[in-house]
Amino acid sequence: MGRSHPGGEDQGRLVVAGLIERARAAQARYERYSQANVDEVVSAAGWAVVKPENNRRLAELAVADTGLGNVPDKIAKNERKTMGLLRDLQGAKSVGVIAEYPELGIVEIARAAGVVAALTPSTNPGATPANKILNALKGRNAVIVAPSPKGWSTCALLLEFIHSELAKVGAPADLVQMLPAPVTKEATQELMRSADLVVATGSQANVRAAYSSGTPALGVGLGNVAVIIDDSADAADAARKIQESKCFDNATSCSSENSLVIHERIYRPMLSELQKAGGMLLDASEKAKLQAAMWRDGKLSAEVMARPVEDILKRAGLAPRAVKVHRLPESGQFIELRLDRLQQPAIEEIAQRLCRFTSQPRSRRPSTSCAASTPTRAQVTRSASIRRTMPTSCAWGSRCRRRASSSTRRTPSPTAAPTTTGSPSRCLWAAAPGAATRSPRT
């Protein structure tokens, strides 16, 4: 959340009070917008992100300021995450009566939350604020972003682009604001206390602070998944998809795998395929060196987070093996740690515990590749060609049909023109078919 405010706690409160006052005035006006006008505002804000020249500038600044990820993948992430969310929000009602259930005598009427406080991390200083802003605007809310200190300049540039587009559709600029630099702990805490809803993405400390702020909050912290690969999986296909997901933007995405649990019957073939996909299998001494470089005093070192694998190996004093390490185009390498081999009972116990959190296996995702795309503003506005499949309750006061908006799970619009941004021309999925969390076969 940043350091203490140089002017003290009182100065931080005054700054936040001014932001909240302007946000409430803008939101009171925006709340009277029709559904068509709201959708126009959302499309304008989305175009501010995916407009090719804007997207590239955001990606380049994010990498330059944070040192996390890489430019080509951030361009792809900004585009896919934003376009995917726009598809999901397109056509969803967020004004007036949004649903009726005559058999129950129930009518749902959308009501804006008011002012949303959005805490965002340094790993995705462009894509995550954009996502929160679009969702807030769809529900006729104002939003104030509290970016990480490293991501402040990227967020400031994003708001500059959004304000320019909002002016074109006559929407108040104060609908979208951010904390001024330096972002301090006091200002962030005061913002959370003063807002009507908090949406926090980032460190465990930020998420806990959001839940203890006294304001209704939704938090998403660290927790990349362990992927179970059972004996029905296509080992080569699974290895390729894991490599792509793990290396995308240097593993800054939440969908990037944390670890693999491999069924005994497919264990050796899977290791072989992982190495063919660019993995490095470390022996005990190499693992100890890597662990010492990555974990200092029991904490993950910031010097290795979201860094290229070459930098991580250099810090650990390890050299890539020319025979076993293969660099895939626009993807990179990943490091595979061989733990003690898990026997059947251990695998089954892990699988059973993980399966408690899901009622059914994850549906299989398509394995065909597709070309990334650079959208036009018209395509952003009419991007309703993909049906929404999961009705959920929108966190910002509207009932939307939304799927997960992770950039690695998005398919570009089939009507979009060929890419000119240099984005990777591939679909990236978080897990391979057959890698769902289910118990291994006996």
- Kindly report, residue by residue over 392-435, the tens digit of the pLDDT: 333 333 333 333 333 333 334 433 333 333 333 222 222 333 33
pLDDT mean over 198-202: 94
Q: Which two tokens stand for residue 396?
A: 């910002």
| pLDDT on residue 204 | 85
CATH number at residue 166: 3.40.605.10
Q: State whether 204 and 232 are in the same domain.
A: no
CATH number at residue 264: 3.40.309.10
Lowest mean pLDDT among 85-94, 159-168, 217-226, 314-323: 314-323
Q: State whether 202 and 98 are in the same domain.
A: yes
Q: State whether 135 and 154 are in the same domain.
A: yes
Lowest mean pLDDT among 44-48, 187-191, 297-301, 416-420: 416-420
| pLDDT on residue 226 | 87
Residue 200 within a domain: yes
Separation of alpha carbons 297 and 1, rounded Å: 22
pLDDT top residue among 53 and 331: 53
Does residue 43 carry a pLDDT above 50? yes
Q: State whether 304 and 255 are in the same domain.
A: yes
Q: Which two tokens stand for residue 310?
A: 């070459």
Q: State whether 267 and 200 are in the same domain.
A: no
Final residue before a domain boundary, out of 222, 252, 268: 222
Does residue 322 carry a pLDDT above 70? no
Q: State whether 107 and 209 are in the same domain.
A: yes
Helix (H, G, I), strand (E, B) or coil at 163: helix
Does residue 111 carry a pLDDT above 80? yes
| pLDDT on residue 335 | 57
Q: State whether 194 and 230 are in the same domain.
A: no
Separation of alpha carbons 107 and 436, rounded Å: 38
Q: Which residue reads 């129930």 in tokens?
A: 106
Residue 107 pairs in a beta bridge with 100
Residue 204 within a domain: yes
| pLDDT on residue 6 | 55
pLDDT mean over 355-370: 39
Q: State whether 178 and 318 are in the same domain.
A: no
Q: Determine if the peptide bond prior to 182 is cis (ω within 30°).
A: yes
Q: State whether 230 and 103 are in the same domain.
A: no
| pLDDT on residue 230 | 94
Following DSSP, what letter does each residue of 95-153 receive, concatenated?
Answer: SSEEEEETTTTEEEE-----EEEEE--SSSTTHHHHHHHHHHHHTT-EEEEE--GGGHH
| pLDDT on residue 416 | 38
| pLDDT on residue 436 | 33
Q: State whether 208 and 238 are in the same domain.
A: no
pLDDT top residue among 286 and 390: 286
DSSP 196: S
Residue 416 within a domain: no
| pLDDT on residue 375 | 57
Does residue 86 carry a pLDDT above 70? yes
Share of the chain above pLDDT 90, in %: 58
Helix 35-50 to helix 52-66 angle (10° resolution) is 60
Final residue before a domain boundary, out of 203, 222, 241: 222
pLDDT top residue among 33 and 417: 33
pLDDT top residue among 350 and 256: 256
Any idea which residues carry the catalytic annotation? 254
pLDDT top residue among 417 and 125: 125
pLDDT top residue among 215 and 404: 215
| pLDDT on residue 437 | 33
Lowest mean pLDDT among 30-39, 148-157, 212-221, 364-373: 364-373
**Confidence at 378, pLDDT banded by 50, 70, 90:** low
Q: How many domains does the chain have?
A: 2
Does residue 223 carry a pLDDT above 80? no
pLDDT mean over 337-346: 44
| pLDDT on residue 114 | 98
pLDDT mean over 16-23: 97
Share of the chain above pLDDT 70, in %: 70
**Confidence at 190, pLDDT banded by 50, 70, 90:** very high
Separation of alpha carbons 48 and 218, rounded Å: 26
Q: State whether 268 and 304 are in the same domain.
A: yes
**Confidence at 216, pLDDT banded by 50, 70, 90:** very high
Domain span including residue 164: 9-222
Residue 429 within a domain: no
b/e string for 94-104 if b means 16 or more Cβ within 10 A? bbeebeeeeee
b/e string for 339-368 if b means 16 or more Cβ within 10 A? eeebeeeebbebbeebbeeeeeeeeeeeee
Q: State whether 126 and 183 are in the same domain.
A: yes
